[in-house]
Structure formats: C-alpha cells, structure tokens
Amino acid sequence: MKQIFVLIFSCITLFAQAQTTISGKVTDHSGAPLGFANITIESSFDGTTADEDGSFSFETDVTGKQVIVADFLGYEQQKIAININGKEIHVDMSLAEKFNELKAVTVTAGSFEANDKKKAAVLKPLDIVTTAGAMGDIGNALQTFPGTTTVGESGRLFVRGGSSEETQTYIDGMHVPVAYTSGSPNIAVRGRFSPFLFKGTVFNTGGYSAEYGQALSSVLLLNTQGFDSKERVDISLMSIGGGLSGTKKWDRTAVTATLDYTNLNPYFKLAKQRFEVEDAWNSTSAAVSLRQKTGKSGLLKIYTTSSVASSGLKVFDFYASDNKKSYQTKNENTFLNVNWMNPISKKWVLRAGASYSYDNNDITYGNVDLFNQLKELHIKTNVTYLHSKKASIKFGGEHFYKETNRKSYDNPLTINSSSGFAEANIFLSNNFVIKLGGRAEYDDYLDEYKISPRISSALKTGKKSQISFAYGQFYQNPQEKYYALDDQLTFRKADHYILNYQVEKNSRLLRTEVYYKKYDKLVRFTNPYDKNTYRQDGDGYASGLDVFFRDTKSIKNSKFWISYSYLLSERLYHDFPEKAAPSFTAKHHASIVYKYWMSKWNSYISATASYSSPRPYNNPNTNQFNAESTKSYRSLNLSWSYLPKPNVVIYASVSNVLGFKNSFGYEYAPVPDASGHFASHEILPAADRFYFLGCFITLSRNTGLNQVDKLN
C-alpha cells in the first residue's frame, strides 16, 4: 500500500512540474485593452478569458511548438507561434478591428439614396406615392428634399443653382435623354416613369461617381426591380385614366407587362383651368420588363416602353388679336434598355448594357409647324475587381451616338462621344474610407478631350455619426440648340466641393451639408440668333447649406422629415449683361412631410407643406437687371389612402389645399411698344389646386401580396 501512495505522489509531482504558465495582455492597435477577450491554445482545451484590463494568465501541460489564439468580437483573430518548454511565457497580443461591411463608414457627401441602409437610407421609392403633392411623380417627391428648388412652371428638377438640363437621369446605369413628358410653354411636365418600376432611387445632388458624366449639377440614378418578382395583376382606376399591369414568373424568367392610358379632358371639364383647352393632354403607353437568370448567378434585364401623347392649348401671345394662340403638340417616345450583370469569378464582376432612345415632337404654333427629334444609342461596359472586403476597383468605358434634328437645322446634327472611367474604393479601417476616381471624355463634334478627377472620403466620428467630403470636376456639352449657330464651342465645366455631417440614432437621421460649385466656360451671347455674338467666357457659382432631418420613432404610427436649403448663386451667361442670380434659383427652400397610419380606419394620412422664397426675374422696363422678384411659393398638400381590403387601396389627394395664389413671375414682349414700354404677362399655375382620386387593386394567388406594401 505504501508503494502505491509513493507512486501516486510521484505522478502528481511530475504533473505539477510539467505545468507551464502563459501570461500577457490583449489590446487593439491603438493600445486600448480588450477586456474579456478569449485566449486559447489551438487544438487544445487550455485557455482563459482576459480580465477587464485585457491581462490574462493560465497554466497548461501542453509542450512543444504550439499556437496561441486570441479572439474578440468585432476584431480579427490573431495567432502567434510559441514554444512551450516548461519555462514561463509572456506574450502580448494586438488585434486589428475586423472589417464589417454593414458597420463600415460610407461616403454620403452629395448623395441621397433610398433602399440601401449603408448609404443614408432616407427615402424608399414607394414613399413617392404616399408623399402628398408628389402625385406619384419621382421628381415632385424629390422636391421635398434639400438641394432642390421648386420651379412650378417647369416641373423638372433644379438642383443647387443648376438649370434642369444640368441634371441627368440613368436607369440601371444607362442614360435617359428625355426623362420628362412633352408639354406646353409654362405648363409643368411630369417624369415618364412610374416609381413602382424601381427598387432603389439614388439622388446625387453633387460630387457623383466617375462612372457618370455630362451633368454639371447632379444625376438621378434609378435601379429597376430584380428577379425577386411575385406573380400578380395590378389594376389602376383613376380620375385621369387607368392602367393594367401583370407579372408572370417561371424558374429562371420573370416578365412584367404594363398598359397605361391618361386623359385629362374629363378632369378639365370639371376643374376650371386658367388656359383655354382645345385638346387636353392625353397619352397611351405600354411597357415590358424581362428578367432572365443566366448561368449560376448572372441576371439579364430588358426593359422597353413606348408612348404616344398629344395636347392642344391656347397659350398667351403678345401679338395675337386676343392674345391667344393655339399650341398643339404630338409626342412619340420609345426607350429600350438592356442590362446584364454576371460574376466572372469570386473577385470579378462584369456589367454590360445598351440603351436606345427615340423622341419625336411635332409642334404646331398658330400657323407655324415646328419639330424636334432625338435619337440616342448608349453602350457601356464596366468591370469590378473585388481585391478584398477593404478594397475594390471599378473601371470601364462607354460610347454615345446622338442624332438631333430641328426645323432650324439644315441637316441633322450627329455627335459621337466616348468616355473611360476608373474608381477605387479603399477602406483603411471601419472608420475611414476613401474613393479615388477619374473620367476621360472625348467628343468628336467639339473635337476635344477632357479629364476630370473625382475624390471622396468619409470618417466615422462616433458609432452613429460621420463626416464626408467630396471634390470633383464635371464637364457637359453646350446645349445642342446652340451648335448650329457656333461651331467653336467647348465643354462647360463645374467644380464641386462638398462637406457633409450625418448622425443616425434611434430611427432618427440628421444630415447637414455645405457646398460650393464653381462654373466656367458658360455660353454667352448678345443675340441668340446671331452667331457672331457668341462666346464662351461665362462663369458663375452656387454655394449653400442643406439640412435634412427624418424621424420614424418620436410620434407613434408616424414618420416625418424636414428639409431646408439655403442657396446663393450668380451667373454671367446667355444674354446676362452682368453677373446675377438666375430666375430658377431661390435663396430659401423648406419642406415638411408628415405621414400617419390610422390602424382603426385602415388609412394612411399624409401632409406636405412647402415654401420657397421669391425667385428673381428681369423686368426690361427697369434699369436694373433681374431686380424684380416673384411671390414666395407656398403650398399645403394632403392625401388619404384607405384600405377597405388588404388588396385594395383607395387614394385621394388635393394639392395646395389652402389655395395660395402662387405666381412664377412675368414674361415680357420681345420689343417695346410705341411709347417704349415692354408689355407683360403674369405666369400663373394652370389652377390653384389639383384633385386626384384613384383605386388600385392587386390580384394574386399569394394572399400575402397586397397594397399595404405600397404604403409602408
């Protein structure tokens, strides 16, 4: 028995002698302790948890060459090779923060993006239909955002002191040269595309990606729905027309077809307008969208739409006997977009697309027949190389073929332009990202090359806040109507400087942005019909502050956003005799949008209040240029969505409920009368209010698919 105890005691002594102590400390790269990190020896059960100050110590009987591993949530795992030979080991471990795409900082300077939570998701595309006053129009909804100016006689997007033609629209990366419906002078137009076509809307108010060009102020990027469509039939019955849409889905194919008809004649008979109607605006349009899976993870998207629209009004004319002259328009528009995305490997992604646009306007003004026609072919390819989660580069090229024709042209005007671009996205950490890019453009008509650098960056200042900066040079051809008069034109130029601060916490978003935009090489003339008076030495600037606040938590069953813009802008261009603020700019612009879900009544209530300070205009009867001002623009819009059944929504809206008497300035006769006075005519909206009533029905075998998703 004594021998047994001696043997046991000897074994215990040998075991105790074989124990090795391993100690150290775990920190991050800045030296801050990582308390409660896990430390283990690989392929063993030996290890411990660090103390609050990051220090650790444990004993092991493992010997020889081993690997010690440190783990901490949110940080990259670290492994260090050690040799355990019975002597105490001290090892300090420093962990790098793990790159997390969901937590990583993203550049937001100049960009309002919907449907992408990583990039300041502030507006879902489906919000458009429930924003009072938007009337289901993308452009109208975006005018409740900072950086825009309400120009009621146009209806187009005017961004940060830029004219509407300085903002370009893209669908799935392909250019849309005619994004608005045709119209009559001083009558607001609408966007051509339904918001339900798109899954995401990115509104860049400046400093946009090197992938896009030919826009001095901003780009509107619209991304169509992917393959995850549901079979359904949608029926629209409206006070201004109707629509029918259906989606059919197979294993690898989905097709959606849409037919819409709009006619304002019945509405104009009930609601009095300020102009005399000969043939109210009416249109018929059809669209087909195809999504086809290719290979293991590729997707081919084809979208085409075609429409015919016409209208006939009597517009004001200074020289007509009763100051009214007939203005008849007929528009034909076709747009085809083919887009293909396919991963080549785990690190390479190929995107290729082509679009074709055709737009023809036949105009009869009194006894004069006018027309303008546009054809455009756009081809683009780009490749993205995903070097790692922290670094990627995108590069590619595109070509435009454009043909325009007007009655004033002797021959159609043909333009070929080619561009190449590259852009690198580099995350130096979770807290800092930088995007470097450049774009090279060549235009054969101008016979000129331009290279424009782009840079943007973002830095996290806290868990929920960040600052962003963007700079870029942007070029755009002169407007084509000037080409026939001057063949010595060159690119117009704008430099953008943007600084952004954003904080998002507890379902609340606050975003502030200051910017400065410098214009150069703007077209000037004394007489727009005399090519000898043309030159391109104009310049200008636009600077300001944009503030946006969105809250979806403070008020139960409610969400609202508040936007404010302050703008200072002056230009010396066109026939301006001196540098002055353009007539499409307003110093102050503000909007409040409020939406409330009334569960008891199955209703969604929305209200939008908008204000724009007076815009300048020129009165030739005074000695000062652009010294007169319009009235301030004010509007309160209301809408109500009622769901009697989950698949049926009844929608009603009224714009400018309080009937504010808005005015958009005056137009003046081109020559004075015998006394030297220029006659004037006030530019007013077609009516003080607009009423809309519609019923939207969804039919589907999937009972969970209904109209509620269009309201939330």
Helix (H), strand (E), coil (C) string for 407-434: CCCCCCEEEEEEEEEEEEEEEEECCEEE
- Which residues does 422 contact at the CB level (< 8 Å), separation at least 6? 210, 393, 394, 395, 396, 437, 438
Contact at 8 Å (CB) between 586 and 567?
Answer: yes
Alpha-carbon distance 358 to 683, whole Å?
A: 31
Q: What is the pTM of this model?
A: 0.83
Percent share of the chain, pLDDT over 70:
90
Burial string for 70-101 (b: 16+ CB within 10 Å, else e) reads bbbeebeebeeeeebeeeebeeebebebeeee
Res 119: pLDDT: 40
pLDDT for 73: 63
CATH architecture of 111-710: Beta Barrel (2.40)
Q: In terms of DSSP bridges, do strands 20-28 and 93-95 run parallel, antiparallel, or are they unpaired?
A: parallel
**Distance separating alpha carbons of residues 478 and 485, to the nearest angstrom:** 12
* Chain region(s) in the chain for CATH 2.60.40.10: 2-95
Length of the chain: 712
DSSP state of 15: H
Exposure letters 587-604 (e unless 16+ CB within 10 A, then b): bebbbbbbbebeeeebbb
The predicted-structure confidence for 186-220, as pLDDT tens digits, reads as follows 888 888 888 777 776 778 889 899 999 999 999 99
Taking phi over 0 as left and psi of -120 to 50 as alpha, with beta for the rest, 131 belongs to: beta
Please report the pLDDT score of residue 190 as a whole number. Answer: 87
User: How far is residue 218's CA from residue 195's CA, in Å, rounded to a whole number?
Assistant: 19
Task: Specify the pLDDT at position 703.
Answer: 53
* CATH number, span 2-95: 2.60.40.10
Per-residue pLDDT, 395: 95
pLDDT at 631: 94
pLDDT score recorded for residue 106: 64
Q: Where is 265: in which H helix or E strand?
A: helix 265-270
Give the distance, in angstroms, between the CA of residue 74 and the centroid of all CA atoms in the same chain: 32
For residue 202, what are the contacts with CB-CB under 8 A and spacing of at least 6?
111, 112, 113, 114, 116, 119, 220, 221, 222, 223
Q: Any idea what DSSP says for residue 599?
A: G
Residues of the chain with CATH 2.40.170.20: 111-710
For residue 134, the model assigns a pLDDT of: 74
Mean pLDDT by 10 residues, the chain (712 residues): 38 50 88 82 81 85 89 80 90 78 62 44 56 78 89 91 94 93 86 79 87 94 78 90 91 92 91 89 93 89 95 90 90 96 90 97 90 95 90 95 85 92 90 93 93 94 91 93 76 96 89 96 89 91 95 89 96 95 96 90 91 96 93 95 88 94 93 92 92 89 53 44
465: Cβ contacts below 8 Å, ≥ 6 apart: 501, 502, 503, 504
Label residue 312 left, alpha or beta by phi (over 0 means left) and psi (-120 to 50 means alpha). beta
pLDDT at 223: 83
